[in-house]
Chain A
Amino acid sequence: MNARRYRRFARPPSVSVASRPSLWTDDDHLLLVDFNGMTESYRRVYWRDVQALVWYETPIRLILSILILLFVAGFSGLAFLARSAPAGMWVLLGFAAFFGLLLLINLARGPTCACFVQTATAVHRLNAIGRVRQAHRIEALASERVSQQQSGDVPPAPLPPPAMPPPPQADTPSASSGVPPPLPASIPAEAHAVRPPPLALDGSYLRLHVVAFATALASAVLDAVIAGGWNNLGLSVASMLAGSALMGLVIVGLVRARRLPDSTGLVRTYWFALVTVTAFWVVGYAHMMVLMITSPTHPLGGSEVDYLRAVSRLHGGNSTYMLVNATVSAIAEGWIGLMGLLQLQRMLARWRLLSTPPEAGTP
């Protein structure tokens, strides 16, 4: 039954959460496999049907590098603070070295990308292709296989212009001969920009984005109040809850915003929010760890509840750390909220403009 022997082309990428996609090749087709831990689903793309491979760079490498760098810095800082206890220091340095190695590997693997294969009926994303280097490899393989499977068709390069030639002009010599003139190689992109179809707001999750950025603004106000010196337990808890809600909304909003057209600015704001909020969490966690390590009361010396209460008081009280944290958080979240709402407003204005039918007489 399993007569075919597939050759693995790409392993699951390093960032794959819900499923583990992989890519396998056979003589006449590509096999796209998604494994969710229990079942495998298959999609086949035959070389003879492949019309185009398209890929573009994504910022995943940069974001991963920043996140890993935060861990390296966090563990290095903790190791420095724990230098009085050599065993703990070396363990923490080991963690820092591990994350440093991950960082080097991430940088060495090259830029990340999203790669797609287009056929006459569908565009499939090759989830297993996560790096530009892999995209170039699949391109080389596709060129070889396609030349065998699509032989008899016109060669792939140089490419002739397909249908829709430019309108013949009376002063061009080709108009008289009946042959459409070839397209010049350097046509400005704007000249071929297609007017996008009118977009409905249904499915844009506009309210979700508004709520996300409003939450960022609310969180900024809370942090500003805390930074102003009016810190108490209620405000701290409210700020923490707002931060958690913001994290959740940012993740969902980012997923939704990526599916929207014309949303590059919005997506960038979301990415900034994700990295910033994550960084605040990591810093807060590291601060707690530092307090626990440097606290004069050993956790095993007395009641653990009392000890944790004392550490929490140190962590959340009117300390310099809290002042700096609250100030920076207020600025960052305020910026996120304002920029997000501004991006939304710009996007809506553009959509309205595109949805308005052009007046008679305008080109």
Chain B
Amino acid sequence: MVGCPSCTIRLEPGNWTGDRQTACPRCGRKLEWRVFPALFHPPAPPDTSTAALTDESRCFFHADRPAALVCDACGRFICRLCDVTFEGRHLCATCISAGMRKGRFAHLDRGRTRYDSFALTLAIAPLALWPFTLLTAPAAIGVVVFGWRKPRSLVAPNRWRFVVAGILALLQIAGWAFLFAKLAGAFGGRP
């Protein structure tokens, strides 16, 4: 059933079959909606009813269940319950877990650190209070070096922010070096 997202009430079928606009009977929100066939065909639960015969191959993880497939990654026999169809392959839960740990499945990533944005912020934001750039410019270089080979964003995978942050940070460091050289020339050495 379709739910009203405002008050979480479940709307009865009469509310969302027919016209594509309706008012929630509880909170009065004017809802617009579009329903799709998946609403009427929820995914079927895996078959868990069969038991293994004595001479059958057994599931690696469930000794009392017959093997139905072979894991495409590790080759273990797995039952229907353990089968995870993912990116066109049949995998067991252990391989999925290991793949997630090693970052093999970009499709399962739940989040990534944006070192490029962090480096760019470190290179630009402190310019408003420029004396801080003495600390933040080397830090920005450090973040660029540290994050260069780290997994990048799924939606903005290029490295231009790293490049810009690195150039800006190097310019700031060069500016500080120039300033220190001038100061050393003004106060040091000559009697």
Please judge, given known A-B contacts A162-B13, A183-B13, whether A155 and B37 are in contact too, CB under 8 Å.
yes
Please judge, given known A-B contacts A35-B114, A50-B38, A146-B36, whether A189 and B25 are in contact too, CB under 8 Å.
yes
Interface centre among A1, A31, A120 (most CB of B within 10 A): A1
- Interface contacts (Cβ under 8 Å), in number, total 182
> Which of B121-160 touch A at CB < 8 Å?
121, 151-155, 157
Please, which residues of chain B bring their CB within 8 A of the CB of A52? 2, 16, 33-36, 39
Please, which residues of chain B bring their CB within 8 A of the CB of A35? 114, 117
Please, which residues of chain B bring their CB within 8 A of the CB of A193? 12, 25-26
Please, which residues of chain A bring their CB within 8 A of the CB of B15? 187, 189, 192
CB pair A192–B37 under 8 Å, yes or no, is no
C-alpha spacing A135/B32, complex, angstroms: 10
C-alpha spacing A44/B86, complex, angstroms: 14
C-alpha spacing A159/B11, complex, angstroms: 15
Please, which residues of chain A bring their CB within 8 A of the CB of B155? 6, 8, 22, 24, 31, 33, 40
Please judge, given known A-B contacts A2-B154, A54-B31, A118-B3, whether A194 and B25 are in contact too, CB under 8 Å.
yes
Contact of A37 among B9, B42, B121 (CB under 8 A): B121
CB pair B34–A142 under 8 Å, yes or no, is yes
C-alpha spacing A120/B40, complex, angstroms: 10
How many whole Å from B46's CB to the nearest CB in chain A?
15
Please, which residues of chain B bring their CB within 8 A of the CB of A1? 103, 106, 151
Please, which residues of chain B bring their CB within 8 A of the CB of A305? none
Interface centre among B3, B37, B157 (most CB of A within 10 A): B37
- Give how many B residues have a beta carbon under 8 Å from the other chain's beta carbons: 58
C-alpha spacing A177/B18, complex, angstroms: 24
A70-114: CB near B (< 8 Å → 1, else 0) gives 000000000000000000000000000000000000000000001
C-alpha spacing A37/B17, complex, angstroms: 42
Please judge, given known A-B contacts A120-B42, A153-B41, A261-B27, whether A56 and B6 are in contact too, CB under 8 Å.
yes
Please, which residues of chain B bring their CB within 8 A of the CB of A234? none
Please, which residues of chain A bring their CB within 8 A of the CB of B31? 54-56
CB pair B7–A190 under 8 Å, yes or no, is no
Chain B interfacial positions (CB closer than 8 Å to A)? 1-19, 22-23, 25-43, 103, 106-107, 109-114, 117-118, 121, 151-155, 157
Chain A interfacial positions (CB closer than 8 Å to B)? 1-4, 6, 8, 22, 24, 31, 33, 35, 37-44, 48-57, 114, 116, 118-120, 123, 125, 135, 139, 142-143, 146, 150, 153-156, 159-162, 164, 183-187, 189-194, 196, 261-264
